Structure formats: C-alpha cells, structure tokens
Structure 1
C-alpha cells in the first residue's frame, strides 16, 4: 500500500471509529436510561443522586462538571431531588456562600436498595466484553479522550 492509500485508509478508519463508538454509546445509554427510568428517576437525577451517594456531600456549583450536565440545570435537578426528599441542602461549614447537596436518609435507603440492581444491570448491558477487554477499552478511550482534549 502506497503512502497516499495508507493515509486514506487511516482517515476512513478514524471516521469508522467515531461512527462505531457513537452507535455503541447510543445503544448503551438507551439501555441504561431504560434501567434508570424503572427506578422512578430520570438519568440526570440518578447521576446527581449516585454522585452524592458514592462521593459524599458535594458543593452544588461543582456537581455539573462531575455528572456532565449544564450548570444552569443543576439547581432544577437539586430542587426536584429535594422535593422527592432524597437530598437536602446544607451550608458549607467552611464557607457560608457555598451550599452543599447532601443525601437524606430516604435517599440512602433508596440507593441501598436500587444501586446493587443498577450495578447488576450495567454488568449485563456491558456483558459483551470480558474483564480484560473492559480494562483495554477503558485505557484506550481515556487515551483517545485525552488526545482529543489536547488538540
């Protein structure tokens, strides 16, 4: 294969990686969202609740960057979770200008019940890869993401 053909082949392969990755993500997200809807939450609410459940109290202003939602939507999502009595707001002990979202007893109870089921569903959804393949995919996607970020 000459240089020109090799370059064209690699460009086409790059496009194919993007298409295959996008379709795989779409399929996985659809299945995960179906699983989450069964819990009575939307995916964004679940992501925020899961973050606080797993990582502890979070400054409301910082939640958006951790769960990949627009900061303008955070207050709305926190309000909805607060209405459902799954989280509470509390002032930061160090800085009164910062408000933390903290999980309530009801939120802990709900997550203790549903999170193991969610993890099992994720295992099933991503069961198309074995352990080694999952480790390789994680490594390769991180490499790909960092490269794209540094462009």
Structure 2
C-alpha cells in the first residue's frame, strides 16, 4: 500500500465528513445570499450593517475582526457605504488614531427592513433540523474553534 492509499484509508471518514460539510455549507450559503442579494447588498455590506445594528458604533478594526475581513476590503466597503449614506465615520474620542463607524438613519432603516426577512430565511434553511439537532450541531462545530 503506497503512502496516498494509506493516508486515504486512515482518513476515509474525515474526508467523507469534509465533503458533506462543504456541500452543506455551499447550499446554506447560497440560500442565505438570496435575501441579501435581493436587497442589492454585498455580503460584506450586509455584515457591516447587521453588526453595527446589533453592536452599536465600532472601530474599523473591530468590524474587521467580527466579519473576518481584510483591512483593504473593509476600507473599500466602508468608503462605498459612506458614499451611499448607510454609515458614518467619526474620530474615536478615546483614541484619536482610530475611527468609529456607525449606522446613519438611512442605514438603520435599511437594515431594519431586511433583518426580519433574513432571520426568517435562516430559520427556514435550518428547519431541516430539530431544536435538539441545532444545539448539537452548534456544540459539534465549536470543537473546531481554535483557542487563541
């Protein structure tokens, strides 16, 4: 048995699980994006608006960390969202080197219109599982989280 066959045999179930996980993830993502795209937003724009709505004003770095984005991408997204009137940027009074980003009234109105539909869509997507299965799924997936 060569190295490849041996590695394949020893890791068969893990590889099979990865394929199933990726297929499920792709299906979930496609279904989730339907609502976001219907409202003419990118995933990152939606993420910024939802995060600011739920967390309040944040520093740019905090948004980057929460949305797992890059600073270059986030800079462009923020610039475009300011241009479109959805968010504002002001100096952070606690740290003059940083800026706080927040929702404008237009941005708040826009995200409040989208969130019920988005949340209901997520509920529909995950309705394939029972409440107990959802709890178990969350517990299992948390095992992959790396400790900092």
Q: So what's the TM-score if we normalise by structure 2?
A: 0.89
Q: For 1:81 and 1:121, how far apart are their aligned partners in 2? A: 24
Deviation at 1:62, TM superposition (A): 2.4
More RCO (CA 8 Å, sep 6+): 2
Root-mean-square deviation (Å): 1.6
SS of 1:140's partner is helix
Q: Which runs of 4+ in 1 moved over 4 A?
A: 7-10
SS of 1:98's partner is strand
Q: For 1:49 and 1:10, how far apart are their aligned partners in 2? A: 45
- 5+ residue gaps, structure 1: 1-6
- 5+ residue gaps, structure 2: 1-6
Q: For 2:130 and 2:70, how far apart are their aligned partners in 1? A: 34
Matches within 5 A, 1:62-141: 62-141=62-141
Contact 2:35 2:117 in 1 (8 A): no
Deviation at 1:61, TM superposition (A): 2.1
SS of 2:81's partner is helix
Q: 1:29 to 1:141 in 2, by over 3 A?
A: same
Q: For 2:30 and 2:23, how far apart are their aligned partners in 1? A: 11
Q: Can you list the C-alpha shifts for 1:34-63, whole angstroms capped at 9, x where unaligned?
A: 210011101111011111111111101221
Q: For 1:10 and 1:71, how far apart are their aligned partners in 2? A: 40
Count of aligned positions: 141
Q: For 1:10 and 1:129, how far apart are their aligned partners in 2? A: 30
Deviation at 1:8, TM superposition (A): 7.2
Q: For 1:25 and 1:117, how far apart are their aligned partners in 2? A: 20
The equivalent of 1:16 in structure 2 is 16
Q: For 2:128 and 2:83, how far apart are their aligned partners in 1? A: 38
Q: So what's the TM-score if we normalise by structure 1?
A: 0.87
